[in-house]
């Protein structure tokens, strides 16, 4: 085996360039150029390169060769790889090339996903996982999320909508799908910083109980709700979804299923079965996939430990064993591509501040995570599903979906 320490600072050899070409080929030959540590630059394809990827040492080449899944993320975060040009355009192009080249294999990724899903997120493990990501500090997220601190896919109902507008439109889109009526009771599982819970209580006149296992988020949400005078109709509970009690007219969960893990889908479904009234409506909003597969190794290791992004057939483990009737599924993947791009743009404006507090490696890691997520949704590697469902015997469900589009004027 080659000694990874050998050749640092040395000029790249013909072997280095051959390995880089091999790596590019296995990534579907993206339309980028590559620069080596002696400054030598060459395009990967004949087409105009979208951006330039610079290997700052032989170590980066070898890490990508031996560990393509984790390698790029680790090298970029550590500064062993630099990207010149528009970073989002670069991640979009590389993701597009990898997806296009990607294996058409179905059964192997499905098997891997099944095996992976055997790992069960216990309440304690869930708390650890959530802490890893969501307790980074409210100050960190406030720097680049919208003012309501909504950390899930927005809904750009008009082409020119800003991130803040699109987040409000998403909250309303979810509320309309739930067909909320004043006086109803709603339980929310995994409420983040409480934006949806507050929006429902304030604008739809419902009573909300919202659960979350991140103390930093719950503290923030309670304070905001009190300041807005909503704490009479809205209670934030520091607790796991498994601790939900009583029965409600509506169940809603936005961006939690990704953390639940397949092994607990049926448990979640049973919980909803218990806590949803016979004529109730429920909505789950989650990142998904077009086909079963495991999560990106780098994301799993550094960003979302314990996470799993399900295909629709995997998600059905929430609904089918409990005989829920799935009423409506909407896929908003291109909205999430834009949401992540908007987050990234905000993030770049505060990147120096982030580096000052959390260090350069952290900033690079988050830049890659936001850009890579946007690229994942843009390329079709990731989907965003909103699923409305009800008890199988509930005949008081909306007959058509026109109620979701009260102001529709037929915009194309």
Interaction mask 157-196, its own copies, x per CB under 8 A: x---------------------------------------
Considering only 17, 78, 99, 355, the residue that binds its own copies (CB under 8 A) is 99
CA–CA dist 344, 367 (Å, integer): 7
Considering only 106, 112, 203, 232, the residue that binds its own copies (CB under 8 A) is 106
Considering only 21, 334, 346, 355, the residue that binds its own copies (CB under 8 A) is 334
Q: Cα dist. 84→8, 9, 223, 284, 341 in Å?
A: 22, 21, 43, 39, 18
Q: Is the Cβ of residue 228 or residue 396 nearer to its own copies in the bound state?
A: 396
Total residues at interface with its own copies (CB under 8 A): 55
CA–CA dist 290, 279 (Å, integer): 31
Strands (E), 225-345: 234-238, 248-254, 276-288, 324-331
Query: How near is the Cβ of 347 to its own copies at its closest, in Å?
Result: 23
Which alpha helices (DSSP H) does 135-194 contain, by range? Answer: 138-142, 163-177
Site for its own copies, residues 293 to 312, rule: CB under 8 A: 311-312
Strand 383-391, strand 324-331: pairing: antiparallel
Quick one: tokens of 334? 């291109």
Site for its own copies, residues 275 to 294, rule: CB under 8 A: 290-292
* DSSP SS3 for 212: strand
Q: Does 407 bind its own copies (CB under 8 A)?
A: yes
Spatial contact of 157 and 406, defined as CB atoms under 8 Å apart = no
Quick one: tokens of 382? 């990731």
Q: Does 205 bind its own copies (CB under 8 A)?
A: no
Spatial contact of 264 and 126, defined as CB atoms under 8 Å apart = no
Site for its own copies, residues 362 to 391, rule: CB under 8 A: 378-380, 383
Which span sits near its own copies by CB under 8 A: 6-14, 15-23, 98-106, 228-236?
A: 98-106
Q: Is the Cβ of residue 21 or residue 404 nearer to its own copies in the bound state?
A: 404
Spatial contact of 194 and 180, defined as CB atoms under 8 Å apart = no
Considering only 323, 353, 357, 359, the residue that binds its own copies (CB under 8 A) is 323
CA–CA dist 226, 326 (Å, integer): 36
Spatial contact of 375 and 88, defined as CB atoms under 8 Å apart = yes
Q: Does 399 bind its own copies (CB under 8 A)?
A: yes
Q: Is the Cβ of residue 292 or residue 307 nearer to its own copies in the bound state?
A: 292
Q: Is the Cβ of residue 14 or residue 411 nearer to its own copies in the bound state?
A: 411
Which span sits near its own copies by CB under 8 A: 219-227, 230-238, 301-309, 327-335?
A: 327-335
Distance between terminal CA atoms of the chain?
A: 58
Question: What 8-state DSSP symbol labels residue 389?
Answer: E
Helix (H) or strand (E) holding 197: helix 195-203
Interaction mask 55-94, its own copies, x per CB under 8 A: ----------------------------------------
Q: Is the Cβ of residue 217 or residue 383 nearer to its own copies in the bound state?
A: 383
Name the residues that contact its own copies, by CB under 8 A. Answer: 96, 99-100, 104, 106, 155-157, 290-292, 311-313, 316-317, 319-321, 323-331, 333-335, 378-380, 383, 392-395, 397-412
């Amino acid at each position: 085996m080659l000694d990874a320490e050998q050749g640092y600072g040395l000029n790249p050899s013909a072997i280095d360039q051959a390995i880089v070409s091999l790596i590019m080929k296995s990534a579907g030959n993206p339309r980028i150029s590559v620069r080596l540590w002696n400054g030598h630059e060459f395009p990967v394809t004949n087409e105009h390169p979208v951006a330039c990827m610079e290997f700052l040492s032989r170590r980066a080449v070898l890490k990508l060769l031996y560990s393509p899944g984790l390698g790029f993320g680790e090298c970029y975060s550590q500064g062993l790889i630099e990207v010149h040009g528009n970073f989002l355009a670069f991640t979009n192009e590389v993701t597009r090339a990898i997806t296009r080249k990607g294996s058409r294999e179905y059964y192997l990724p499905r098997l891997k996903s099944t095996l992976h899903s055997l790992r069960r997120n216990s309440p304690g493990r869930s708390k650890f996982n959530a802490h890893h990501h969501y307790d980074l500090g409210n100050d960190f997220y406030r720097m680049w999320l919208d003012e309501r601190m909504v950390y899930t896919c927005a809904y750009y109902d008009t082409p020119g909508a800003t991130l803040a507008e699109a987040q409000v439109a998403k909250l309303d889109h979810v509320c309309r799908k739930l067909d909320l009526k004043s006086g109803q009771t709603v339980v929310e599982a995994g409420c983040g910083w409480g934006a949806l819970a507050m929006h429902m209580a304030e604008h739809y006149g419902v009573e909300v109980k919202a659960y979350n296992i991140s103390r930093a988020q719950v503290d923030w949400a309670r304070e905001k709700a009190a300041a807005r005078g909503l704490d009479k109709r809205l209670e934030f509970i520091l607790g796991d979804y498994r601790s939900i009690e009583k029965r409600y007219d509506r169940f809603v969960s936005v961006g939690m299923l990704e953390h639940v893990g397949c092994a607990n889908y049926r448990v979640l479904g049973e919980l909803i079965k218990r806590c949803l009234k016979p004529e109730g409506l429920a909505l789950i909003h989650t990142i998904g996939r077009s086909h079963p597969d495991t999560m990106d190794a780098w994301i799993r290791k550094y960003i979302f430990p314990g996470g799993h992004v399900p295909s629709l057939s995997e998600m059905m483990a929430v609904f089918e064993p409990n005989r829920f009737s799935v009423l409506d599924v909407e896929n908003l993947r291109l909205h999430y591509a834009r949401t992540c791009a908007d987050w990234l743009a905000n993030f770049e404006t505060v990147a120096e501040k982030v580096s000052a507090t959390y260090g350069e490696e952290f900033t690079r890691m988050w830049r890659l995570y936001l850009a890579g997520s946007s690229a994942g949704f843009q390329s079709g590697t990731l989907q965003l599903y909103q699923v409305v469902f009800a008890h199988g015997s509930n005949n008081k469900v909306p007959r058509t979906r026109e109620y979701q589009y009260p102001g529709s004027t037929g915009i194309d």
